[in-house]
């Protein structure tokens, strides 16, 4: 079987790694990198660490408005489909790359296989929600990470081609957590944490908050950004913040002196895994990091009003927070009762890549 895989952003690089390994044993995969994430710290390092094959095509689309970026991708992906004549296309998650790939394939009557189908935050203001809903409704196979995702699709009248494969990100965490631990134990992790002033911060395991901020609903709102960074400055432990280059530019005008917030450049997957596992708590607006924290049994506070990963909220492992200084501080300093409860096995058994591969080979012929 010949398949085109569309990737373009950090979470997609991570999800694609285990599937590519399985699928390529007996099949042909054409890997297309849209260039949505093009910074070396957010792209190249993931290919190196996770053993992802070099892309056959790099569209180098880069940053742009949603419409312009998606349109450029759509045009270039269509050309590749006409040239390669694949049996199907696999798309991951909920980015503009996801939607562009799905649209291009669907219009040319190429079967679309959507990994991480069925997620819903029920907030249509989020571009990610728009992308995932539209992609689901034009996909031929909907490969769901949880039963909740299956149920969400059923509510929208979608039942054909829906399969609960488990979460492929769980596969990746299980495969790499020990590698990460070996590589960064004995203080080696600190050597790679150089802040914007070229200094190595003094941190101890379990005595820092690990934060990420990148959602447009937060970064495009000056007031929300101000509330978030004001809260970071009042927290009882240092806040380690790998920051997207775009967000770095946005915080320059906040007029907040950052003493408790340690800003570093985005880091590779293995180091991020180590930082997540050894943080006291994760504070984020990222869907992927919510899950990784859950898999690694690190408590999480999500700076959003909704989450598509409702399973992480069980037993208080994750908790949502409105974007207001005192609310964030109350949520972060909550009593952590989650340790008293076992985690429900909501995300499968760590063999999602195998199940996805089987579903595509059986359903995509």
Q: What is the CATH number of the domain that holds 184?
A: 3.40.50.2000
Does residue 147 contact residue 153 with C-beta atoms inside 8 Å?
A: no
- pLDDT reading at 45 higher than 90: no
Enumerate the active-site residues.
Answer: 214
- pLDDT reading at 196 higher than 70: no
> CA 82 to CA 30: how far, in whole Å?
13
Give the percent of the chain with pLDDT over 70. 96
pLDDT at site 365: 46
Do 224 and 258 sit in the same domain of this protein? yes
Residues 6+ apart with CB under 8 A from 358: none
Do 176 and 126 sit in the same domain of this protein? no
pLDDT at site 219: 87
Do 25 and 163 sit in the same domain of this protein? yes
pLDDT at site 37: 61
pLDDT at site 286: 92
> CA 100 to CA 112: how far, in whole Å?
11
Do 122 and 49 sit in the same domain of this protein? yes
Do 120 and 215 sit in the same domain of this protein? no
Do 207 and 119 sit in the same domain of this protein? no
Do 160 and 177 sit in the same domain of this protein? no
Number of domains in the chain: 2
Domain that includes residue 57, residue range: 2-167+348-363
Do 179 and 65 sit in the same domain of this protein? no
35-49, 132-146, 170-184, 343-357: range with lowest mean pLDDT: 35-49
Do 15 and 137 sit in the same domain of this protein? yes
Per-residue pLDDT of 277-312, as tens digits, reads 999 999 999 999 999 999 999 999 999 999 999 999
pTM for the model:
0.91
Return mean pLDDT, the chain.
91
- pLDDT reading at 235 higher than 60: yes
Straight-line distance from the first to the last Cα atom of the chain, in angstroms, rounded to the nearest whole number? 8
Does residue 254 contact residue 225 with C-beta atoms inside 8 Å?
A: yes
Provide the token pair at 102.
């799905």
């Amino acid at each position: 079987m010949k398949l085109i895989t569309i990737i373009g952003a950090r979470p997609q690089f991570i999800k694609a790694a285990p599937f590519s390994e399985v699928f390529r044993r007996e099949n042909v995969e054409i890997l297309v990198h849209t260039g949505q994430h093009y910074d070396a710290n957010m792209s190249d390092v993931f290919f190196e660490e996770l053993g992802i094959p070099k892309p056959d095509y790099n569209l180098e689309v880069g940053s742009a408005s949603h419409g312009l970026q998606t349109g450029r991708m759509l045009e270039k992906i269509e050309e590749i489909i006409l040239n390669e004549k694949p049996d199907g296309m696999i798309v991951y998650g909920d980015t503009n790359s996801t939607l562009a790939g799905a649209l291009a394939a669907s219009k040319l009557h190429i079967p679309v296989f959507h990994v991480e189908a069925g997620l819903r935050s029920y907030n249509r203001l989020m571009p990610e929600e728009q992308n995932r809903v539209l992609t689901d409704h034009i996909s031929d196979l909907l490969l769901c990470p949880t039963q909740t995702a299956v149920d969400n699709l059923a509510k929208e009248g979608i039942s054909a081609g829906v399969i609960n494969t488990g979460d492929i990100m769980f596969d990746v965490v299980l495969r790499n957590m020990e590698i990460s631990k070996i590589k960064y134990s004995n203080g080696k992790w600190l050597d790679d944490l150089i802040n914007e002033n070229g200094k190595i911060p003094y941190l101890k395991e379990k005595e820092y908050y690990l934060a990420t901020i990148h959602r447009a609903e937060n970064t495009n709102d000056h007031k929300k950004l101000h509330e978030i960074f004001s809260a970071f400055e009042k927290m009882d432990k240092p806040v380690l913040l790998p920051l997207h280059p775009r967000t770095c530019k946005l915080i320059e005008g906040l007029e907040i002196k950052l003493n408790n917030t340690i800003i570093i450049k985005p880091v590779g997957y293995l180091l991020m895994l180590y930082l997540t596992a050894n943080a006291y708590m994760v504070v984020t607006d990222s869907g992927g990091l919510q899950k990784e924290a859950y898999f690694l049994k690190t408590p999480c506070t999500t700076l959003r009003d909704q989450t598509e990963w409702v399973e992480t909220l069980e037993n208080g492992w994750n908790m949502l927070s409105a974007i207001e200084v005192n609310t964030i501080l109350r949520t972060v300093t909550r009593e952590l009762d989650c340790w008293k409860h076992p985690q429900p096995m909501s995300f499968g058994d760590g063999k999602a890549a195998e199940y996805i591969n089987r579903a595509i080979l059986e359903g995509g012929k």
